[in-house]
Amino acid sequence: MTGPAPTAPTTPRLEVVVGDITAETVDAIVNAANSALQRGGGVDNAIHAAAGSALQPALDQLGGCPTGDCRITPGFNLKARYIIHCVGPIWHGGTGGEDDALAACYTRAIALARDQGVRSIAFPAISTGVYGFPRDRAARIAVAAVRAAHGPGGPDLVRFVCFDDASANAYRTVLDRAGDQPG
C-alpha cells in the first residue's frame, strides 16, 4: 500500500544569490524587458546574448508587452527551458502606480510558470537598474508578490539572482525579517 502522492509545498523555497542569471540551472529565468520586447541594456542584454539570435525573432512575433505584464519564450541557448519577459515600471517617485505594476510582474511570472509546469524560477531585481526603482522597496514588493501568487502547481524554488551585494542584501533583509532562511 502506498501513501498519498506528494504535493507541492504551500510556499516556495526562496533563495538569494549574487550572480549571472543566464548561468542559472532552473526551469525558467525572468528577463527585465522593455515594453517593445527589443534587446536593451543590463540583464536584458545579457539574456539576449546568452540565449542567442533566435530570441529576438521570437519576441518580435509577440508584438510587445505592457508594463506590469509578462510574455514567455523558449530559453533557446540557455540552461533554462523558458524565459519569462516581464516589463517592470519606470520609477516616477512612487505616485504613478509603480508598486502595483512591479507586483503584477511577479504575480504574472508565477502564473506563467505554473501554466508551463515550471518547478524552479530565477528572478532578477526587476526595475531596479536603469528604471530606477528603489531596491529595498522593490525587494519587499517582490517577496510579497511571489508569496501571494504561489499556489498549487507553482514553483518549488524561487531564486532572486542579484547583480551585486547591495541588491542581494535588500532581499536578504526582507527574508530575514520574515524568518526565512535565504540562500
Asked if 158 and 15 touch (Cβ cutoff 8 Å), the reply is yes
Strands 82-87 and 157-162, sheet pairing: unpaired
C-alpha cell at 12: 516556495
Query: For the sheet containing 120-123, what is the strand order?
Result: 13-18, 157-162, 120-123, 28-33, 82-87, 70-74
C-alpha cell at 63: 508584438
User: Residue 132 phi/psi, 5° resolution?
Assistant: 75, 10
From 44, 99, 115, 136, the catalytic residue: 44
Please confirm, yes or no, whether 115 is among the known catalytic residues.
no
Asked if 148 and 106 touch (Cβ cutoff 8 Å), the reply is no
Which of the residues are catalytic?
44
